[in-house]
Structures are given as C-alpha cells and as structure tokens.
Amino acid sequence: MKDLIAKTFDDHASLLATTRDILLPAIEEAAQYMIECIQEGRTIFWCGNGGSAADAQHFAAELVGRFERERQAMSSIALTSDGSVMTSLSNDYGFGEVFRRQVEGLVRMGDVLVGISTSGASPNVLQAIEQANRQGAITIGLLGRQGGKIRQACRVAIVVPGDNTARIQEMHTLIGHVLCDLVERSQG
C-alpha cells in the first residue's frame, strides 16, 4: 500500500513539473483573455462533465465570490449549475445539446467560454466551443491527453500532457486556481 501511495505522489510530481514547463505560455494567454473579458464587463462561462462539471462550478464560484482577496464580484457562470436547464435540454434535445444551447442563449461576443475535458473529446463541450466561436466569444480548452477535437476548436488550448484522468484533473485544479488568481489580482 505504501508503494502505491508513493507512486501516486511521484506521478503527480512528475506531471506537475512537465505541465509547468510546457503550459506556461498557454496559461498566460488564457489568463490575459479572461482578464480582458472581466475588465470589459463581460462574463466568463465554464462547462464540463463529471469531475470537470464540478471544476466548472468551483472556478465560477472563485470568481463570483473570492479566490484569496476581498474585491468586487466578477461575472462568471458554470453552465453545469442549473439542474432544471440541464435536465430539460437533455430531455428535449439530447445530452449533446446541454451546453451548446445555453451558449446560444447566454454567451455574447467578447465573453469567454472555458470548456473542461480530460479527454478533449467530450461531444457536448466541443459543440459548446463551436457555438461560442460562431458567436464571437473567446474559447479556451482546459484539456488532457492530446487535447482531442476540442484542441483544434478553441482559441487557446491548455492541454495537460498526461493520460491518467485523476492526474489530469489534479493539474486542471491547479491551473484553474492559477487562472482565478491572475484574474483576481488584475482587479486591483
């Protein structure tokens, strides 16, 4: 058991070092778009499935509430948060439409949509990114593995270079915290 625990920590540390070295420019670019979005009075939207849905809600809450500093609330919405909308869209249009349809109704030009997918292959996240692109939003993918189809669809792809879902999710949490911190610091 101790060997398995140690290996998990070692795998995390190894991916952390690789992620930092490779993704610094993409994280900085994404943060700049997010900062501009908030400074222009626009909204940062988030979406994902499963653990990524939880991350979407977590990061939206960090911006609306606070990450580490007292400041004015920022406009940020997780498209995973409204159970009535999610279930009605799933029932009436199919689960592939749950984010795209919300993007169609809520996202405006200059807003930011962050799609989170450890595989980069979530069809409903891809559809949301494509819809946001059509509407003139800035699209960011917080992805894993090779980034899948979503990588090609977003303006900024932050692709964690790993294959283990849990380790990718751990990096997503750290990257999300870095993004929230940078946005929050920009607000003064």
- In the prediction, which pLDDT does 107 show? 98
**Helix-helix angle 165-186:2-39, to 10 degrees:** 30
What is the residue-level pLDDT of the chain in tens, covering all 188 positions? 999 999 999 999 999 999 998 999 999 999 999 999 999 999 999 999 999 999 999 999 999 999 999 999 999 999 999 999 999 999 999 999 999 999 999 999 999 999 999 999 999 999 999 999 999 999 999 999 999 999 999 999 999 999 999 999 999 999 999 999 999 999 87
18: domain CATH number is 3.40.50.10490
User: Which residue has tokens 């607000």?
Assistant: 187
Give the domain extent around 177: 2-186
Listed in sequence order, the residues at least 6 apart from 86 whose beta carbon sits closer than 8 Å to its beta carbon are 80, 98
Nearest alpha carbon to residue 22 among 157, 121, 117: 157
Could you give the number of structural domains in the chain? 1
SS3 25: helix
Are the CB atoms for 86 and 80 separated by under 8 Å?
A: yes
Name the nearest CA neighbour of 145 among 122, 113, 123. 122
pTM value is 0.96
